[in-house]
Amino acid sequence: MTRPLPYGRQFIDDDDIAAVVAALKSDCLTTGPAVTAFEAALAKVTEVADAVVCSSGTAALHLAALALDLGPGDAVIVPSVTFVATANAARYVGGEVVFADVDPATGLMGSEHLEEALRRCGGLVPKAVFPVHLNGQCVAMKALSEAARRHGLAVVEDACHALGSRQGEAATGACAWSDMAVFSFHPVKTVAMGEGGAVTTGDARLAERLRLLRSHGITRDPDGFLQPDEAFDAEGRPNPWYYEMASPGFNYRASDLSCALGTSQLAKLDRFMARRAQLVAAYDRALAPLAPRVVPVGRAADGVPSWHIQVVLIDFAACGTTRAKVMRGLAERGISTQVHYLPVHRQPYYRGRSPGLSLPGADAYYDRCLTLPLFYGMEDDEVERVVRELGRVLS
């Protein structure tokens, strides 16, 4: 009997379970040593000075926007093909989103898309760009960063799809061409910790600010105290109970349970990536007979991807069908699919803020994209099954 195939799912091994059990039996369920251990492991994987873990990828994006002091009147350039959280992070702090177009074959923004978006900023002050690595492939960061720096923009990589990928000699997350990079550890990601996120940075000042903001804005560091009469006793020693909040932050902490799972999962990242690459290669071979009406997502020119999802581009009109019919037909055969993503500029909230905006590359990518199953525990013959059933549904 064939098993149902989700478009993505976590892989949990016995050592993952043991790591969580050990955390449960420890003295700390949150803000303990497992958090510090995960941050150290992630910093090593991403080859960066600091990794700051938090409760989700969305929280990580919000923290990055806060750390940059973005606010009302500031423009943040965001590619339209992404999850809504990338754009929402700018709105959380009062900034305005200016959407950039993308390459219709890869879904990735380039420096030319950044330049075009900047010309549409009007009276806003461009402050930052949040390029998005999509499906496991990376934006050409060197060229994009050079363009961003010419305009005085901060750069925050949304790398939620790309843990383990490389851009030239640099690991994604090393921030070789950015101020910060943001990751997600949702269950469909390559590495899962239930819910969780992180920001990596090579800037110690930003790392300190991120840690402050993720925990209510509270500091217990005597060197940072602003009220000496409250903070210190008559001998000048810090009062043992004392902490300060100079400005509000958020409760975006990650638990030791999540971080214990995350650290165990990170140890398997190379194995996860290698198997996903094998499955993507199997898809490439199996899809070849369906070309040109069905093709794998375009390949980025540079870098080594860490595949997160398997996206194909389908000419639905040429096949005489619609995406909805294809998705329903595959679901009837036990194969779940998804769409990544409806361009964010077409969401009601943003359509109302940017009426009439046309981004032809984003629209062309969206019109054809479909996400097929891809996960570590998938078998080669299941790839063949997915493509075989796809062909049947299309015909």
- Catalytically active residues, by annotation: 189
Beta bridge partners of 369: 313
**Residue 52 structure tokens:** 């700051």
Phi, then psi, of 129 in degrees rounded to 5: -130, 135
Tokens 């992180």 sit on residue: 198
**CA–CA dist 285, 63 (Å, integer):** 41
| Distance of alpha carbon 370 from alpha carbon 294, whole angstroms | 10
**Which one, of 113, 117, 118, 77, lies nearest residue 95 by Cα?**
77
Q: CA 91, 305, 364: angle at the middle one, nearest 5?
A: 60
Alpha helices in 57-203 (DSSP H): 57-67, 84-92, 111-118, 141-150
Which residues contact residue 126 at a Cβ distance below 8 angstroms, ignoring those fewer than 6 apart? 74, 75, 77, 98, 118, 151, 152, 153
State the DSSP code for 297: P
Count of H-run helices and E-run strands, the chain: 14, 14
Q: Which residues, in sequence order, are bridge partners of residue 154?
A: 128
Cβ 307 vs Cβ 135: under 8 Å? yes
Sign of the dihedral through C-alpha 63, 80, 43, 11: positive
β-pair type (154-158, 125-129): parallel
